[in-house]
Structures are given as structure tokens and as C-alpha cells.
């Protein structure tokens, strides 16, 4: 087995694994990283196919620039936004996979037997890969190159126009926001003041700890929705039980009259149930 074939087999297997990861990872960041795996392995295969310039460009342009841009946008739009798996068209997934298998079959039939049995190789054409490519790009392909460079100038202008749009709605003044709060209080009974603080317990005081109401129930508005989205809300009842146990161990006696109700009894709204889940 030649070294070239070895590179192809190993990197090809990793590239297919990365492509499968792109299909199956739920989080967009993981998908982006598995795409990076595909890109790097394709670069190695390019190098094995005597395309030194393209291998370097693959690493620098794709893995370096394009995937960083992807990660940037993923950070911008919220790293943990879950993808809904509800199918708007019933059976779409199954049909898509069947279509994929069919396309693969067609492509394989088209490919098999259509290549020359022995590759010519690039030793003759490749008198120094970069020099030969430069002679082609600035020789017979010079007009295509000029058009491509015009495209590269126009595309960032388009991106700037798209990204720097005007505000969709006018910015609300302080007076308008105060009026909206009072109106919400009048109509729906929403408390017009500030939201409650997050909780402070003996063991934890992060913003993931919900505050407790006087009756011992948790206050749903004391933790940010971002914490709920990330499943990061601390179960304060479990923490308080743990604290009570610690105290009991230290003092050697059962602590008196600690509020230790069952968590289910504490929870009386659907929101709280979801928080504590």
C-alpha cells in the first residue's frame, strides 16, 4: 500500500465521520467543529493528490476564515438555541434519506468505469505546483480571475449593506417604557417594580439559584430565561436538604424545624414545575 493510498484511506474515513457528525450533532457548534474535521482531512487528501497550493488554501481559507466566521455567527445568535425536530411535512426525514441513498446510487453508477484505469499523475504538469497554477490563473484564466476579484469586492459590500440595516422599530423612550409597565400592571397585574434577586444559599450564590418566596416556594422571575434554556437552574430544595444534612453531621443532632417539605408540594404552578425539572 503506497503512502498516498494510506493518506486517502485514513483521511477519507475521518472526512466521512465528520460529515456524519454534521448530520447528527444537535448543537450548531459541534456541527461546525465536525465540518472543520472534514476540511482538514480534505486538505490532506489534496496534498496527496499533488495539489499543494489548494491544500494550504483549504486550511487557511476554509478552516481558518470561513469556519471562524461560522463560529462567530453561532456565538452571535445564541450558542444553545435548540433545533425543533417537529416535521412540518410528515415523513420528510425518511424521504430525504431515501432520496440521498438514491442519489448516491446514481452517482456511484456514473462514476464506476468512467475514469482512466491508470491516473496520469501531475509530475509532468506540476513543474512546481504554485508556479504552474500561477501561469494558468494569470494566463488563460485571467478574465475569470478578474471577475472573481470583482465578486470578492462586491460580496463584502453586500454583507455590510445587509448587516448594517436601520432599526426595525423606533427606540422606546424612558417615559414610554414606564407607561408600558404601568399599563401591564393595570391590565395583567404584572408587578411594575424591579424583578426579584437570585437566591443566596449557604452553598451557592450564583445567578442560577432561584430566590425563595416567604412560603418556601421558588420565585420563577428570579432566574433569567437564559438559565432555564441551558438547564442550569439549581434545585434549591435539594441544596437546602444537603445543607440541613451537613449541619446535622456537624452538630450530631437533627436540626430543629427546618423547612423540609417535599419539592412537589412546594411547586404549585406549571412554570415552577418546569424550572425544577
Partner 1 sequence: MNPEMVALLAAVLFVLGAVGVLIRRNALVIFMCVELMLNSANLLLVSFAYAHGSLDGQVAAFFVMVVAAAEVVVGLSIIVSVYRSRRTTSVDAPDLLKL
SS3 string, the chain, reads CCHHHHHHHHHHHHHHHHHHHHHHCCCHHHHHHHHHHHHHHHHHHHHHCCCHHHHHHHHHHHHHHHHHHHHHHHHHHCCCCCCCCCCCCCCHHHHHHHHHHHHHHHHHHHHCCCCCCCCCCCCCCCCCHHHHHHHHHCCCCHHHHHHHHHHHHHHHHHHHHHHCCCCCCCCCCHHHHHHHHHHHHHHHCCCCCCCCCCCCCCCCCCCCCCCECCCCCECHHHCCHHHHHCCCCCCHHHHHHHHHHHHHHHHCCCCCCCCCCCHHHHCCCHHHHHHHC
Instruction: Name the minimum Å distance from CB 224 to partner 1.
Output: 16
Residues between 193 and 222 that touch partner 1 (CB under 8 A):
none
Residue 240 touches partner 1, criterion: CB under 8 A: no
Residues between 9 and 38 that touch partner 1 (CB under 8 A):
12, 15-16, 19-20, 22-23, 28, 31-32, 35, 38
- Selected binder of partner 1 within 4, 197, 221, 245 (CB under 8 A): 4
- Applying CB under 8 A, the span of 144-152, 234-242, 243-251, 253-261 interacting with partner 1 comes to 144-152
Residues between 39 and 98 that touch partner 1 (CB under 8 A):
39, 42, 45-46, 48-51, 53-54, 57-58, 61-62, 65-66, 69-70, 73-74, 76-77, 81, 83-85, 88, 92-93, 96-97
Give how many residues touch partner 1 by CB under 8 A: 87
Residue nearer to partner 1 on the CB measure, 171 or 270? 171
Instruction: Name the minimum Å distance from CB 198 to partner 1.
Output: 24
Residues between 161 and 190 that touch partner 1 (CB under 8 A):
162-163, 165, 168
Residues between 112 and 141 that touch partner 1 (CB under 8 A):
112, 115-117, 119-122, 124-126, 129, 132-133, 136-137, 141
Report the C-alpha gap between 115 and 132 in whole angstroms: 24
- Selected binder of partner 1 within 75, 128, 146, 159 (CB under 8 A): 159
Residue nearer to partner 1 on the CB measure, 59 or 241? 59
Residues with Cβ within 8 Å of residue 230, at least 6 apart in sequence: 80
Instruction: Name the minimum Å distance from CB 262 to partner 1.
Output: 38
Amino acid at each position: 500500500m503506497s503512502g498516498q493510498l494510506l493518506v486517502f484511506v485514513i483521511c477519507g474515513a475521518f472526512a466521512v465521520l465528520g460529515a456524519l457528525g454534521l448530520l447528527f450533532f444537535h448543537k450548531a457548534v459541534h456541527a461546525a467543529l465536525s465540518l472543520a474535521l472534514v476540511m482538514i482531512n480534505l486538505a490532506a487528501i489534496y496534498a496527496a493528490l499533488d495539489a499543494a497550493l489548494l491544500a494550504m488554501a483549504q486550511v487557511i481559507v476554509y478552516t481558518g476564515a470561513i469556519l471562524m466566521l461560522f463560529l462567530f455567527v453561532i456565538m452571535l445568535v445564541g450558542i444553545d438555541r435548540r433545533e425543533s425536530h417537529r416535521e412540518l411535512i410528515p415523513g420528510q426525514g425518511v424521504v430525504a434519506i431515501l432520496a440521498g441513498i438514491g442519489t448516491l446510487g446514481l452517482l456511484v453508477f456514473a462514476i464506476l468505469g468512467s475514469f482512466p484505469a491508470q491516473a496520469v499523475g501531475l509530475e509532468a504538469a506540476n513543474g512546481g505546483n504554485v508556479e504552474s497554477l500561477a501561469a494558468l490563473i494569470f494566463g488563460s484564466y485571467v478574465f475569470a480571475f478578474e471577475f472573481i476579484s470583482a465578486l470578492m469586492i462586491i460580496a463584502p459590500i453586500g454583507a455590510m449593506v445587509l448587516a448594517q440595516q436601520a432599526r426595525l422599530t423606533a427606540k422606546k423612550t424612558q417615559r414610554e417604557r414606564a407607561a408600558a409597565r404601568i399599563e401591564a400592571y393595570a391590565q395583567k397585574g404584572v408587578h411594575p417594580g424591579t424583578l426579584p434577586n437570585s437566591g443566596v444559599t449557604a452553598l451557592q450564590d450564583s445567578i442560577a439559584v432561584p430566590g425563595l418566596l416567604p412560603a418556601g416556594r421558588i420565585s420563577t422571575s428570579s432566574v433569567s430565561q437564559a438559565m432555564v434554556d441551558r438547564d442550569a437552574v439549581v434545585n434549591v430544595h435539594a441544596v437546602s436538604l444537603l445543607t440541613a444534612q451537613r449541619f446535622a453531621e456537624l452538630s450530631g443532632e437533627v436540626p430543629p424545624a427546618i423547612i423540609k417539605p417535599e419539592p412537589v408540594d412546594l411547586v404549585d404552578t406549571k412554570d415552577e414545575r418546569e424550572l425544577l425539572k
